Amino acid sequence: MTSQRLAGRVALVFGAGSVGPGWGNGKASAVAYARAGAKVVCVDVNRTAAEETAGLIAGEGGQALALACDVTRLLEIEDVIARTVGAFGPVDILHNNVGHAKMGGPPDLTEDEWRREMDLNVTGMFLACKVVIPSMQARRRGVITNISSAAGLRYTGYPYTSYYAAKGAVNQFTVGVALQYARDGIRCNAILPGLMDTPLIYQQISVQYGSPDDMVKARHESAPMGRMGTGWDVANAAVFLASDEAAYITAVCLPVDGGLTARCA
């Protein structure tokens, strides 16, 4: 373990697994929380993926619990919270990482596909907050970090209208929660990753290019810094926002994008 600035805290990470080999944002954040001293509950719709992340934490001497959950189902989230409290205690850090990008504009998507995108990207965060916030209010402390996207601020060149809409909603959901509960000692922020090199892009983005290699080359070239970011860039920001060093930071939608959203062209 490399730091103890989150020692004694319980971090609940929804979307803590990875959809493929490597380090996704949620997987890296879960491990980073543990390295900072937190007890981490790793939740994913894929139990095997959650167990892999929890195993990495345990292998480094940390404490972790792996659970499976569909974040669009309230009863499953309630069960996760109950198991978390039973194993480690109340949630101090809620990290909402689940998201999905479905290509297509309004004529291309079915109504069910549109609703599914809203549910995966926004409703899951609402349900998690619905269950966790009352306990944070009672204890007058807590941190909520929602993973949004640069697509919530800018058109990024990909034809995924539902994703733009959903991530824009995440940003304003974050601001609303932050300001409504600021006097209850709860801080809520969003992290907006830009062009990141994570396992997710090979499943959901690569179809827009001739090959995965073409995608990687193009995304590196499109980034102002000449390279994509990684899951660890998101993880480091998440640990900071959860720490006492960020005690006066709330309602912030923080781009972690190498300057992407600041660029006009």
Q: Domain map of the chain by residue range?
A: 10-257
Which residue from 253, 239, 244 is spatially nearest to 168, judged by alpha carbons?
Answer: 253
Residue with tokens 């079915």: 110
Q: Hey, which bits of the chain come out as E strands? A: 10-14, 39-44, 64-68, 93-96, 142-147, 186-193, 253-256
The predicted-structure confidence for 237-265, as pLDDT tens digits, reads as follows 999 999 999 999 999 999 999 999 998 76
Angle between helices 25-35 and 47-59 (to 10 degrees): 30
Q: Does residue 76 register a pLDDT over 50?
A: yes
* Integer Cα distance of 180 and 176 in angstroms: 6
Tens-place pLDDT, residues 89-129: 999 999 999 999 999 999 999 999 999 999 999 999 999 99
Task: Verify whether residue 248 is a known catalytic residue.
Answer: no
Beta carbons of 80 and 67 less than 8 angstroms apart: yes
CATH superfamily for domain 10-257: NAD(P)-binding Rossmann-like Domain (3.40.50.720)
Confidence class for position 203, pLDDT limits 50, 70, 90 = confident
Paired tokens of 135: 């306990």
- CA nearest 33: which of 234, 257, 215? 234
Averaged pLDDT for residues 68-97: 98
Which of 33, 160, 163, 164 is catalytic? The answer is 163
